[in-house]
Structure 1
Amino acid sequence: MNSARDGRRSVGDPAWVEDQVHPGVRVAAAWTWRLLIIGAGLFVLGKIFLRFEEVFVPVAIAILMSALLEPIVGWLTRRRIPRSIGVLFTVVLTLAVLAAGLTFVVQQLITGIPRMSGDIANSISKVRTWLENGPLGVNSDTIRKASDNVISWLQAHEATIATGAIDTATVVTKLATAALLTVFLLIFFLYDGRRMWEYFTRLVPRAHREHIRGAGEAGFHTLQSYVRATVLVALIDAIGIAIGLAILRVPMVMPLTALIFLGAFIPIIGSMAAGSIAVLIALATQGWFTALLVVVVLIVVMQVESHVLQPFLMGRSVKLHPVAVIIVIAAGIMFAGVVGGLLAVPVLAFLNTAVGYRPDVADTDALVDEPVDLEPPPDA
């Protein structure tokens, strides 16, 4: 009897070959090639980002700042203030606050470093004495030779240092250009963000256009919640640590506070890195006991952040597991340096909401309670 008539498959039949493969292997193979394609796509996108970093970084920063400042613009618009005036007022006020804070920090550094240099010199002298007379018993000639080697290295690399100074000037120029581009983009994102998004989504097929628009808006809501919560957490962390540093009489409290505030924008890792600088300064100027107390202050503030501030301020809006946060920050830093670490978590928060967006769910966890005013400008 023919095998096709009695339901049996012949050896050469592709279906017979498929039946010989274990279902687990088929599932693993299906996942593998899909993950490989996704990984290759992400790799290509990352390379494009690095190639045009001078453009994409200002765009990303402008989006984050617009997520932070949009509620202010919306509040002014609801008070019958023209949106263009509200945007200009918000941007100018933000720039004024940033400029004032930066000027104050620079002045503190200019006055604080000379005062601290004597304490650092004394600490270095104490360390040298401890190395010579302590349990290590290092010979003074060895220390002198080490210092001479450092001086010789600096003299031998004078040209490299000079080139680095030129590169620093180039970096300053690039930063100024990026800052101007960021401000320019920020104004337009705040002024006409919704219509720009709707225009961009016209590239999507009509059948999926509304879903993509809804997913983007839901992701932007999550991004808003993340940015506002991060700014508030960073501010509370900086104030708490600043109080501890002031009580312990650690020098340059305000510059360290500003550094800790900026470092908090890279969750978990940033605060620890910025806090370690405060510990080193305390060690160099006040000694081991004060440095240990600074470590205690940092641990207490970090614990309050992790167990009180983050759950309370983030709430249901941003559901990111700490392990996922650490992994994505590490990947971002390895791929794009500090910029990658800064942008990794906001991108993950946005994608976490946008990918899981369901338009038929009325009360989604991704949306914040307060609506965001992204309507087209009334005076456009």
Structure 2
Amino acid sequence: MFGRRRVEMVVREAPPSKARALWTDGLGTLATRSIQIIAVVVLAAGLVFAYQSLTVVVIPVLLALIIACAFEPVMRWLRAHLNATLGTVLLLLGIVVVLGGVGWAMVWAVRSQWDELYESAQEGFQQVLAWVNTLPFAPDQEQIDEWVAALTDFLTSAQFGSGAVAGVSWVANFVTGLVLMVVVLFFFLKDGPQLWAFLTRPFEGEWYGRVRRAGTKTVETFGSYIRGTAAVAAVDAIGIGIGLVILGVPLWFPLTLLVFLLAFIPIVGATVAGILAALVALVANGPVNAIIVVGVVVLVNQLEGNLLQPVLMGRALKLHSLVILIALTIGTVLGGILGAILAAPFAAVVWGIVQVWDGPHTPARWARRKNRAIEA
């Protein structure tokens, strides 16, 4: 009988192949990341191409989604107290009548005095240019003409005006998009939870919870952003409108309506509305009155940004100004004015999803605050 032996087997790893070694060093890691970035860019380009090709479908669906999120608390109450179909019909009729009526009245009021408003703003702009020409460091007239021509070309270009209402058949596109938006909004309001449950079926485990949190955060963010922005825009319009009336600025009513509309474009909208009001005041009442108008606009915007906006929209939705400007630029290039309006809420939704990526109150790993001890 043989004694017990301990047999030791030494398993030697095969040396890595040359091809594998090329992808495991620093340059290989960089190449791998580059390929991943290229894949993401190609995917993003495909999505942008699909969006631009199906604008008449995409924009109404997005608008219906945003409006449905804004009225989600009302719809939840109607589901609890009324039949789902009846509650949806009543809410949809209310949305169409109120938003449609208010929008039509505002557009009609602005258009009825648009010619006079445009002439006043243009005359004020010419006065500002004449004053600039008196400065020792002022650009020459040829440079000013080039800047004005470039700005005019951009504002009137098809790229800036692209969207659901652009092109030769803009009337047909608008009517088609409006009908589609109303129909899609009806189903979003009525069957929103069921539709979302259907879309989440392919996900399981951790990814199911992640997708559910992302959906809930999207509805909360869109709803809070739209309701808060509408309230802030109304306060801005009322405050600036009262200031224009007290200062005796003509065309105060269309200017007030423009303040409300442009307030949905953060940062840029308030600036444009303030410049327009100051130009009208400059022509009608002189430079001192125009400077006071600028002061009123700045004061109202500061009160709104530092006091009202955090209360109505929450600090979680307050994005950095640089992020908003980048989002506005991308939105304007892709969707014109409508893209500029939708850019900020979509950026807020993306950041909100990042904040709940790994848990209800746990951001994605790369977005978490780092607690680094400060070494002496």
Q: TM-score, normalised by structure 2?
A: 0.72
* C-alpha contact (below 8 Å) 1:108/1:252 kept by paired residues: no
TM-superposed deviation, 1:53: 0.3
Alignment check: 8 A CA contact 1:109 1:252 kept: no
Equivalent residues in 2 for 1:79-94, closer than 5 Å? 80-94=81-95
Tell whether the 8 Å contact from 1:241 to 1:301 is kept in structure 2 after alignment.
Answer: yes
Give the residue type in structure 2 aligned to 1:93: G
**1:65–1:12: structure 2 CA closer, same or farther, 3 Å change rule?**
closer
Distance across 1 between alignment mates of 2:19 and 2:170: 61
SS at match of 2:292: helix
* Mapped partners of 1:184, 1:201: distance in 2: 23
Q: 1:245, 1:48 → 2: CA distance?
A: 45
**Are the counterparts in 2 of residues 87 and 190 from structure 1 also a CA contact under 8 Å?**
yes
Separation (CA, whole Å) in 2 of partners of 1:8 and 1:185? 60
Paired residue type of 2:87: G
Partner of 1:199: 198
Q: Give the deviation of 1:187 after TM superposition.
A: 1.5
**Structure 2 residue matching 1:267: 3-state secondary structure:** coil
Which residue of 2 is the match for residue 35 of structure 1? 37
| 1:317-351: CA deviation from partner (whole Å, max 9, x where unpaired) | 42532211111111111222222212222222222
Structure 2 gaps of 5+ residues are 1-9, 136-144, 146-165, 365-376
What is the rounded CA distance, in whole Å, between the counterparts of 2:121 and 2:184 in structure 1? 47
Q: Deviations over 1:239-286 (max 9, x none)?
A: 111111121222232322222212122211222223322223223333
Q: Given the alignment of the two structures, is residue 44 of structure 1 paired with residue 46 of structure 2, yes or no?
A: yes
Percent identity between the aligned chains? 31
Q: Which residue of 2 aligns with 1:229?
A: 228
Partner residue of 1:141? none
Match of 2:291 in 1: 292
Task: Answer whether contact 1:116 1:251 (CA < 8 A) is retained.
Answer: no
Distance 1:168 1:320, change over 3 A: closer
Shift of 1:301: 1.9
Tell me if structure 1 keeps the 8 A contact 2:78–2:84: yes
Going from structure 1 to structure 2, the CA distance change for 1:238 and 1:195 (only over 3 Å counts) comes to same
Equivalent position SS for 2:342 = helix
* TM-aligned CA distance change 1:266 to 1:107, over 3 Å: closer
Give the 3-state SS of the residue equivalent to 2:182 in structure 1. Answer: helix
The question of whether the paired residues in 1 share the 8 Å contact of 2:249 and 2:285 is answered with yes
Distance 1:99 1:212, change over 3 A: closer
Distance 1:114 1:35, change over 3 A: closer
RMSD across aligned positions (CA):
3.8
- Deviation at 1:13? 3.9
How far apart are the structure 2 equivalents of 1:52 and 1:121?
A: 36
The aligned counterpart of 2:245 is 246
Q: Distance in 1 between matches of 2:65 and 2:273?
A: 25
Aligned to 1:377: none
Instruction: Say whether the 8 Å CA contact 2:236–2:304 is kept in structure 1.
Output: yes
| Separation in 2, partners of 1:176, 1:231 | 25
For 2:217 and 2:111, the matched residues in 1 are separated by 45
1:160-171 equivalent positions in 2, closer than 5 A:
170-171=169-170
The answer to whether the 8 Å contact 1:10/1:16 transfers is no
Alignment of 1:1-380 (within 5 A): 13-14=18-19, 17=22, 21-22=25-26, 25=27, 27-78=29-80, 80-106=81-107, 108-109=109-110, 112=113, 120=120, 170-202=169-201, 204-207=202-205, 208-318=207-317, 320-358=319-357, 360-361=359-360
2:23/2:29 contact within 8 Å kept: no
Per the TM alignment, residue 34 of structure 1 is displaced from its structure 2 partner at its CA by 2.3
The whole-number CA distance in structure 2 between the counterparts of 1:258 and 1:221 is 28
Structure 2: how far apart are the matches of 1:170 and 1:15?
57
Per the alignment, do residues 255 and 177 of structure 1 end up closer, same or farther by CA in structure 2, a change over 3 Å counting? farther
Q: Tell me which amino acid in the other structure corresponds to 1:56.
A: V
| CA–CA distance in structure 2, aligned partners of residues 239 and 337 of structure 1 | 27
TM-score by length of 1: 0.72
Further displaced range: 64-73 or 106-115: 106-115
Which residue identity lines up with residue 51 of structure 1 in the other structure? S
- Contact kept, 8 Å, 1:264 with 1:271, in 2: the verdict is yes
Contact 1:9 1:15 in 2 (8 A): no
Structure ranking higher on relative contact order (CA contacts 8 Å, 6+ apart): 1
**Structure 1 residues 16, 229: closer, same or farther in 2, change over 3 A?**
same
Conserved? CA contact 2:121–2:280, under 8 Å: no
Task: Label 1:95 to 1:248 Cα distance change in 2 as closer, same or farther (>3 A).
Answer: farther
Partner of 2:3: none
| TM-aligned CA distance change 1:241 to 1:196, over 3 Å | same
1:267 alignment partner AA: P
Quote the offset at 1:96 in angstroms.
2.4
